[in-house]
Amino acid sequence: MTKAILVLNAGSSSLKFSLFEYEAASDLHLMAKGQVEGIGNAPHFVAKDHHEQILADEHWQGEDKDHDHCLRAIATLLNQHYQGLKLLGVGHRVVHGGAHYAAPVRLTPGIINALDALTPLAPLHQSHNLAAIRAVASALPGLPQIACFDTAFHRSQNQINQLFGLPYSCYERGIRRYGFHGLSYEYVSSTLKQREPEIAAGKVVIAHLGNGASMCAVQNGKSVASSMGFTALDGLMMGTRTGNLDAGVVLYLLQQEQLSVQQVEELLYKRSGLLGLSGISSDMRVLLDSHEPQAALAVDYFVHRISRELGSLAASMNGLDALVFTAGIGENSAIIRQRVCEQAQWLGIDIDPHANAANEFCISAIDSPTTVWLIPSNEELMIARHTRTQLGL
């Protein structure tokens, strides 16, 4: 009988799943993965096995296909293709663990309620993460469920790096820098430790450059500082999110331009970033292929913000030994990596253009004082590993 761990990542309009085979004394192997995109609008369900063979490719009619419906479709698909499968547990990506949860946790009704209380801190994500947990609990009562938090990796940061210059009572009320993308940083730094332990023991900045983008200073495998703060809006400019923004701009939009809170939220999260600056697309590939000056401006600003954040994160560690690129843009765009590295020569970075163009593991020149690496992220595998550990397997 095949034993497996299911990983779920529920977003506002998407539900992603990965199924990993468990065998004692070996690493977890991916069996299948897939996702439903466009939930609430025009849902599209795609699933593939580990040979990239299509298991499902369905466009669903109707706006009534909610997360519950998607979970049932995934369960039906797994029953059809993997008969006799024994599910050992489900690992969930949960965006917010607040100040308390510094590690993955096995869920109980009490902990689910405690995580619910954090929903105001991540209104766009937390409720969907918890909805998936509740749906599994009601469909498969007794099946262990593990929450893995995007914030947990950053709880090693000292207090200075978690503060804002607000009255201290705000910090006590939970208004502090939490940091996100923690599962990606944890996976990337664990991979670096496995492959280059001496580098991983030093001062490393990891640049997670995807549709959501952030950077993290990691020293000896522990998060020191992150570009993301109270929400996933701070730091780098992203596909549709502003990144770092003078809080006075928000006041101006509300008071002088009379925008509603919902309009400002929509502007900051959905209409800004690469999309807003270029007026063309949030997709880096489209902007790099475009000849429009606004596309070039958006790309220039994206690189500029990374360069500034890199300097800031290096300062938070009093130095830099290595830079690691990960996520969609970081893993695939040699030109963005090259431009970031060219602006970071003052930090001792000398890129090897051939290694960079070939997407190699080490992309810095052989005598570069600061080394540069390329490590594809795998948040799902990180969640599956945590789930396995929490299950005591």
| Binding of ligand AMP by 50 (CB under 6 A) | no
Question: What's the rounded Cα separation, in Å, for the pair 114 and 265?
Answer: 25
CB of 288 to ligand AMP, least distance (A): 6
Annotated binding residue 195: no
Q: Which residues have a Cβ under 8 Å from the Cβ of 345 and sit 6 or more positions away?
A: none
Helix (H, G, I), strand (E, B) or coil at 331: helix
Considering CB under 6 A, how many residues would be counted as binding ligand AMP? 12
* DSSP H or E stretch at residue 146: strand 145-149
Question: What's the rounded Cα separation, in Å, for the pair 212 and 192?
Answer: 22
Annotated binding residue 305: no
Report which of 207, 226, 214, 203 is spatially closest to residue 322, judged by C-alpha positions.
Answer: 203
Using the minimum distance from each CB to ligand AMP, give the nearer residue, 191 or 368: 191
| Binding of ligand AMP by 328 (CB under 6 A) | yes
Quote the tokens at residue 254: 């509300």
Using the minimum distance from each CB to ligand AMP, give the nearer residue, 307 or 333: 333
Q: Could you tell me the CA-to-CA distances from 302 to 236, 307, 375 in Å, in that order? A: 7, 9, 20
Catalytic status, residue 150:
yes
Annotated binding residue 93: yes
Binding mask 239-268 for ligand AMP (x = CB under 6 A): x-----------------------------
Task: Work out whether strand 105-106 and strand 213-219 pair parallel, antiparallel, or are unpaired.
Answer: unpaired
- 391 exposure class (CB count in 10 Å sphere: 0-12, 13-18, 19+): middle
Amino acid letter, residue 361: F
Q: What is the DSSP string of 195-229?
A: H-HHHHTSEEEEEEESSSEEEEEEETTEEEEES--
Are 9 and 16 in contact by the 8 Å Cβ rule? The answer is yes
Interface residue with ligand AMP, options 35, 214, 333, 371 (CB under 6 A): 333
Q: Which residue of the set 57, 150, 246, 352 is catalytic?
A: 150
CB of 333 to ligand AMP, least distance (A): 4
| Interactions with ligand AMP, residue window 276-315 (CB under 6 A) | 283-285, 288
| Interactions with ligand AMP, residue window 203-222 (CB under 6 A) | 210-211
Annotated binding residue 332: yes
Helix (H, G, I), strand (E, B) or coil at 351: strand
Report which of 368, 299, 375 is spatially closest to residue 332, judged by C-alpha positions.
Answer: 375
Annotated binding residue 311: no
Annotated binding residue 279: no
| Interactions with ligand AMP, residue window 342-381 (CB under 6 A) | none
Amino acid letter, residue 291: H
Taking contact as CB under 6 A, which single stretch among the options 18-26, 56-64, 306-314, 323-331 is the one that binds ligand AMP? 323-331
| Binding of ligand AMP by 332 (CB under 6 A) | yes
Tell me which DSSP letter residue 162 carries. G
Annotated binding residue 243: no
Binding mask 220-239 for ligand AMP (x = CB under 6 A): -------------------x
Taking contact as CB under 6 A, which single stretch among the options 80-88, 325-333, 337-345, 368-376 is the one that binds ligand AMP? 325-333
Q: Which residues are annotated as a binding site for substrate?
A: 93
Q: Which residues are annotated as a binding site for ATP?
A: 16, 208-212, 283-285, 328-332
Supply the residues annotated as catalytic: 150
> Which residues are near ligand AMP by CB under 6 A?
210-211, 239, 283-285, 288, 327-329, 332-333
Residues marked as binding for Mg(2+)?
9, 379
